[in-house]
Amino acid sequence: MGIFQNEKIKQIYKGFILNDAHCACENIMSILNRIQNYVSLNSDQYFDVRIILSELLQNAIKHGNESERNKKIYMRVHLEGNNILKITVRDQGGGFNGYKTLNEKMCRKICDVQNLMECGRGLQIVKSLCDQMNFNRRGNCITVLKKLG
């Protein structure tokens, strides 16, 4: 969880988080405070970043690590330049096809209205709040970019 600075990249957080919702919540608040050391977030940006971090960590805990307390989540958060927030979250799970999950047609085929929790709702929320979203090949790591300002 080191902090370093250079002119182009400002590291906010880098390290492991326990596979626990309470621990994740504490880390989210700490990360938001650190971001604000470098850039002033308006209330909408603060809300968006909080939701992005929360959804990514909750997905890693519940779906990636399947709530197994012995597993950890790796997260890196940094600013590129003065206004691009880059968030990477990697769990210890087997992975999934994130692009397929985000595909609206596929989502409609595999879930119904009563089961929205299990068909990528969190990913859809994150996608709507960020500017770019990428998954690694294995499907256990997601990187998102969010422009601030």
pLDDT, tens digit, 9 for 90 and up, residues 20-29: 999 999 999 9
Is 130 among the domain residues?
yes
- SS3 label, residue 135: strand
Give the C-alpha separation, 64 to 34, whole Å: 26
Residues 32-53 have a mean pLDDT of 96
Question: Residue 40 in contact with residue 66, Cβ under 8 Å?
Answer: no
Domain of residue 138, residue span: 9-94+122-147
Question: Residue 59 in contact with residue 125, Cβ under 8 Å?
Answer: no
Q: Which residues contact 91 (CB under 8 A, 6 or more apart)?
A: 60, 61, 64, 65, 71, 73, 74, 140, 141
Number of domains in the chain: 1
64, pLDDT greater than 80: yes
pTM (predicted TM-score): 0.86
User: Which CATH number belongs to the domain containing residue 13 in this structure?
Assistant: 3.30.565.10
In angstroms, how far is the first alpha carbon of the chain from the final one? 26
46, pLDDT greater than 90: yes
Is 3 among the domain residues?
no
pLDDT, tens digit, 9 for 90 and up, residues 86-118: 999 999 999 888 888 877 645 555 555 555 555
